[in-house]
């Protein structure tokens, strides 16, 4: 099997911006491509407090019936710290508990969610760690669904938490919950009115979600997300006494410096010099988007690798296009084939008359 190679080069100028925070560790990441725009000790492992509840929420959404009514059990008696103060025997939907978890950081809600989704807290924590491994969180260990760290806390890094937020924000229900400013609820025992602790939802118009956290060990932790002009970013700060201002400033710098570009378009792809699949259509299944500085100096390279398959059928992968920013590999998309589906130009048809 032989391969065909083609490299396309684009030249873009470069400019330096002065990103900074007062955090122990921090990261500003593009949620779509994973590009790290700013980082400070991004892999430093430490207690992360209640931003752990991002994982608690996405596990519950993916594995539970959020519209199912649940009855609060004795597990909530073990809760301490921040809570929504539910009572034993109280009835509400799992979805209501999720709002209490993410808007008010209810540790009692975290325990009730765990029991109702997995049967017990230990089984739920196992699901949290399995999901962390699945999405590439290499420096993360969860020991509870709340983030409390007086006994066994949850340990992670700014980078891993940005990966988690990027993953969770792809879920429509999660986005709806964390983007809600206020939520009201009436149960058989109480009436609740919750206001989101994420102040950026009210003070910064591009904010789309997030989660606050604090313990004496972890100090202030914060994960937020913001979107503007087809750019979807997340910021994570750990041990930051000025976190809300730091997040806003990082977003403002990134939105002014970067633009979102579609480097590859899904659908038919025409590769200069490719003459093996002349009667077939080569195509991509996905767009490839990436944030680039307006005047980036690095060289953007698209490298096409096409395998000359002797036997193939429609839908088979026959190659890959790799994307590089300078010498750094930043992503790839598979190339697929549709047999006998080549869209011929007028010139192709004209030349066939002389064959």
Closest alpha carbon to 137 in 226, 34, 210, 230? 34
Indicate the pLDDT class of residue 238, thresholds 50, 70 and 90.
very high
Structure tokens at 62: 């993916």
Catalytic (active site) residue 219 = no
Ramachandran category for residue 41: left, alpha or beta (phi over 0 → left; psi -120 to 50 → alpha): left
Q: What are phi and psi of 58, to 5 degrees?
A: -70, -35
**pLDDT reported for residue 13:** 39
Q: What is the pLDDT of residue 348?
A: 56
| Greatest mean pLDDT among 9-18, 219-228, 276-285 | 219-228
Active site residue 52: no
**3 state SS for 101-115:** HHHHCCHHHHHHHHH
Rounded CA-CA distance 110/86 in Å is: 11
DSSP SS3 for 191 = strand
**Residue given tokens 């025409």 in the structure block:** 270
Q: What is the pLDDT of residues 62-110, one digit of tens each?
A: 999 999 999 999 999 988 999 999 999 999 999 999 999 999 999 999 9
Q: Is the dihedral of CA 108, 112, 113, 114 positive or negative?
A: positive
Q: Which of 25, 47, 82, 105 is catalytic?
A: 105
Cα–Cα distances in angstroms (integers) from residue 95 to residues 74, 116, 117, 179, 191, in the given order: 19, 12, 12, 14, 16
- The mean predicted confidence, pLDDT, of the chain is 91
Say if residues 50 and 82 touch (Cβ distance below 8 Å): yes
Quickly count: other Cβ atoms within 10 Å of residue 290's Cβ.
21
| Interatomic CA distance for residues 56 and 129, integer angstroms | 10
Query: Can you tell me whether residue 190 is helix, strand or coil?
Result: coil
pLDDT at 232 (0 to 100): 97
The secondary structure of residue 150, as a DSSP letter, is S
76: its two tokens: 């909530």
Q: What is the pLDDT of residues 115-135, one digit of tens each?
A: 999 999 999 999 999 999 999
- Active-site entry in 33, 50, 114, 166: 50
**The pair of three-digit structure tokens given for residue 181, joined into one six-digit string:** 């400013």
From 25, 33, 52, 53, the catalytic residue: 53
Contact by Cβ (8 Å): 137, 163 = yes
Distance from the Cα of residue 47 to its chain's centroid: 20
* Rounded Cα gap, residues 301 and 192, in angstroms: 54
Residue-wise DSSP of 220-275: EEEEEEEEETTEEEEEEEES-TTHHHHHHHHHHHHHHHEEEEEEE-SEE---TT--
- Give pTM, 2 decimals: 0.86
Contacts of 307 (CB under 8 A, 6+ apart): 1, 2, 3, 318, 319
Q: Among 4-8, 210-214, 257-261, 304-308, where is mean pLDDT lowest?
A: 4-8
Neighbouring CB atoms inside 10 A of 280's CB total 16
For residue 59, how many C-alpha atoms fall within 13 Å in the half-sphere facing its CB?
29
Give the total residue count for the chain.
Answer: 355
Residue ranges and CATH numbers for the domains of the chain are: 3-13+261-352 (2.60.410), 46-213 (3.40.710.10)
Tokens of 216: 């004496």
Catalytic, 123? Answer no
Q: Give the pLDDT of residue 195.
A: 97
């Amino acid at each position: 099997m032989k391969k065909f190679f083609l490299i396309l080069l684009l030249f873009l100028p470069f400019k330096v911006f002065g990103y900074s925070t007062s955090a122990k560790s921090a990261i500003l990441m593009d949620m779509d491509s994973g590009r790290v725009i700013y980082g400070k000790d991004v892999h430093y492992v430490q207690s992360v407090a209640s931003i752990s509840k991002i994982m608690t929420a996405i596990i519950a959404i993916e594995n539970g019936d959020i519209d199912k009514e649940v009855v609060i059990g004795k597990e909530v008696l073990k809760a301490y710290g921040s809570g929504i103060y539910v009572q034993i025997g109280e009835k509400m939907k799992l979805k209501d508990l999720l709002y209490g978890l993410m808007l008010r950081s209810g540790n009692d809600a975290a325990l009730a969610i765990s029991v109702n989704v997995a049967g017990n807290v230990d089984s739920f924590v196992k699901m949290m760690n399995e999901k962390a491994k699945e999405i590439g969180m290499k420096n993360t260990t969860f020991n509870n669904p709340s983030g409390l760290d007086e006994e066994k806390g949850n340990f992670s890094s700014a980078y891993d938490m940005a990966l988690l937020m990027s993953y969770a924000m792809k879920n429509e229900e999660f986005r709806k919950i964390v983007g809600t400013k206020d939520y009201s609820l009436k149960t058989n025992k109480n009436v609740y009115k919750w206001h989101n602790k994420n102040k950026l939802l009210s003070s910064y118009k591009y904010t789309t979600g997030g989660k606050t956290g604090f313990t004496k060990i972890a100090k202030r932790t914060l994960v937020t997300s913001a979107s503007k002009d087809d750019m979807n970013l997340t910021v994570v700060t750990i041990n930051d006494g000025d976190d809300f201002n730091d997040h806003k400033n990082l977003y403002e710098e990134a939105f002014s410096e970067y633009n979102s570009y579609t480097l590859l378009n899904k659908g038919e792809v025409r590769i200069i010099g490719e003459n093996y699949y002349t009667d077939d259509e080569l195509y991509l299944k996905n767009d490839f988007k990436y944030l680039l500085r307006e005047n980036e100096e690095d060289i953007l390279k698209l490298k096409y690798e096409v395998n000359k398959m002797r036997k193939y059928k429609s839908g088979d992968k026959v190659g890959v296009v790799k994307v590089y920013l300078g010498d750094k590999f930043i992503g790839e998309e598979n190339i697929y084939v549709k047999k006998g589906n080549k869209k011929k130009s007028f010139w192709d048809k004209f030349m066939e008359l002389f064959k």
